[in-house]
Amino acid sequence: MLFKNVVIQRLVLLFSFLSLSACVTGQTSADYGASNIKTFKDISYGPDRANKFDVYTRDGLSNAPVVFMVHGGAWKMGDKESKSVIKNKLERWLPAGFVFISVNYRLLPRATDPVQQAEDVRNALILAQNKAASWGGDPEKFILMGHSAGAHILGLVSSSIGAHKAMGGKSWLGTVLLDSAVLDVPSIMSSRHYGFYDDAFGKNSDFWVKASPIHQLKSDAPPFLVACSAGRKGACSQANAFVAKANSIGVKASVISRDLSHKEMNESLGDNNDYTAKVEAFMAGLDSNAKAMISAQPVVVKEEPRKGLLQRWREKRQAAQ
Asked if 96 and 52 touch (Cβ cutoff 8 Å), the reply is: no
Asked if 168 and 17 touch (Cβ cutoff 8 Å), the reply is: no
Mean pLDDT of all residues in 216-225:
98
The pTM score is 0.86
pLDDT at 28 over 70: no
pLDDT at 11 over 90: no
pLDDT at 292 over 60: yes
Mean pLDDT of all residues in 198-223:
98
Letter string b/e over residues 249-268, b meaning 16 or more CB atoms within 10 A of that residue's CB: eebebbbbbbebebebbbbb
The one-letter amino acid code at 79 reads D
- CB-side neighbour CA atoms (13 Å) of 145: 25
Confidence of residue 36 (pLDDT cuts 50, 70, 90): confident
pLDDT at 199 over 70: yes
Q: Is 277 exposed, middle or buried (0-12, 13-18, 19+ CB in 10 A)?
A: middle
Q: Is 109 exposed, middle or buried (0-12, 13-18, 19+ CB in 10 A)?
A: exposed
Mean pLDDT of all residues in 231-255:
97
The DSSP secondary structure of 15-35, one letter per residue, reads HHHHHHHHHHTT-EE--SSSS
Report the distance separating Cα 181 and Cα 160, nearest Å: 20
Confidence of residue 299 (pLDDT cuts 50, 70, 90): confident
The one-letter amino acid code at 250 reads G
Q: Among candidates 262, 273, 267, which has minimal Cα distance to 304? A: 273
Percent of the chain with pLDDT over 70: 83
The DSSP secondary structure of 77-140, one letter per residue, reads ---TT-HHHHHHHHHHHTTTT-EEEEE--PPTTTSSSHHHHHHHHHHHHHHHHHHGGGGTEEEE
The DSSP secondary structure of 201-269, one letter per residue, reads H-S-HHHHHHT-HHHH--TTPPPEEEEEETTSTTHHHHHHHHHHHHHHTT--EEEEEES--TTHHHHTT
Confidence of residue 34 (pLDDT cuts 50, 70, 90): low
Report the distance separating Cα 113 and Cα 75, nearest Å: 8
The one-letter amino acid code at 279 reads V
Domain of 9, in residue numbers = 2-320
Among 43-57, 129-143, 161-175, 302-316, the minimum mean pLDDT is found in 302-316
Q: Which helix (H) or strand (E) holds 53?
A: strand 52-58
**Residues forming beta bridges with residue 171, ordered by sequence position:** none
Q: Among candidates 120, 103, 117, 32, which has minimal Cα distance to 69? A: 103
pLDDT at 317 over 70: no
Per-residue pLDDT, 24: 40
**Residue 84 sits in a domain of what CATH number?**
3.40.50.1820
Per-residue pLDDT, 33: 61
Mean pLDDT of all residues in 72-94:
97
Report the distance separating Cα 40 and Cα 54, nearest Å: 6
pLDDT tens digits for 126-184?
999 999 999 999 999 999 999 999 999 999 999 999 999 999 999 999 999 999 999 99
Where is pLDDT greater, at 268 or 297? 268
Percent of the chain with pLDDT over 90: 80
SS3 state at 70: strand
Per-residue pLDDT, 318: 44
Mean pLDDT, the chain, integer: 88
Per-residue pLDDT, 310: 53
Q: Among candidates 187, 180, 47, 19, which has minimal Cα distance to 114? A: 180
Q: How many structural domains compose the chain?
A: 1
Q: Among candidates 45, 47, 113, 115, which has minimal Cα distance to 80? A: 45
Report the distance separating Cα 107 and Cα 112, nearest Å: 8
